[in-house]
Structure 1
């Protein structure tokens, strides 16, 4: 029983390997047929492929689509290259002298310069409470008899030590000013980065358009071949009748039949053998033997 089970598993694994190989060869044959039927996008090639196979959508309108899309790409590219922001992109983005690049670099430096003071103070767990309560200003109202007053004094002393011994009132003024400046800087930096992103997006769009124009013929040829492929695969037998005598079509059709027949071996023999293994070992063995026999008859010449 175990030997038979192992044999079925081995045959199933081998079947998957062969099936994948047959499918690969079939796809190669189909690609060769497509290239033979439609070598390019000339009106003559499109008309011939449509006549031979009956594939819709391969008429003169496809050649018109090629021309129209090329014109649309060129017009979009011309409009993009005429955009003042695109024309000035190097002047705008240069990190040393650009209107955006240099300003952004300078503002980021200012923001970085504020960080040590802000991080030193804001990292103290009681600093924001001191700000909110007005500690260091005439508005501070907590009495000395309250515990929170002494906690505030202790925290203020710790913060003063962090800031080189400055009085808290001075630290407070500097931090409030730094927080306000940091907020303004952040907003300005975001605005400049948005502008820089728009300029960079123009450059990316231009590269995509240039690439698409360069590959437009290839892209549309692949689209046309995809339509042709869908038509061929929809009814292979009928199409191959129309292509009788065409060696590439015959080769593809035979390989397609091989894929179909080989797939049936698993459905008709291996799967039932696996299902019958527990209840009827003799039937499972008979199915495996039939599979072996049929496997030898199904295969490429």
Structure 2
């Protein structure tokens, strides 16, 4: 669970990001607290992935500040920036595995970039990471084209965990998965978070994930965070998008199903 009294792992203030004449993030502010699973939700094209990519440095910002582990990323030297990168793991949407590399080589990729270890130790660490996400050594020599959607996401998660990060960014981790596989992956996220003490920043549109995995939910609309809190706060919100998403037909069906199963 999150620790509200502690310094945020990530602190975004008045962030503005745009492309040509379109403002995507309009002076957005958001904190990610240590030890929590934060679910970021919003409509298609609302800027969820833009926010994630800006935080990790893949997209430039126009104004505002981003602090990661208490460091303003605009005012750190190269050595500190590299150290901050090592403390973060990323699972991109659809896995983003390197198609020409095996499963083992994909997991080892960040290790080869940041660490100087002998091959046998790299193999041992990669095998351990694969075991953590429910894959075996038999899967290690497969190519991404030989994997199911669920296996692809698990390999991507193992790669995200390769450097023993403290915070993990997940971009739509259950998209494209059938309901059973999505539920299994949600359980994996929670188990890893509890076992490793991770902080998780998760973009998702999956109501099941928001209900079962997330400690806190932030809603992105009109370039800003328009709702922030537990699921109960989402259900009480009168913001039009939040209301339609969480209290619309899909939300009511999910809540009805949960009440029946608990009863």
Calculate the TM-score normalised by the size of structure 1.
Answer: 0.21
Higher share in strand: 2
The structure with the largest helix share of the pair is 1
Bigger RCO of structures 1 and 2 (CA < 8 A, at least 6 apart): 1
> TM-score normalised to the size of structure 2?
0.23
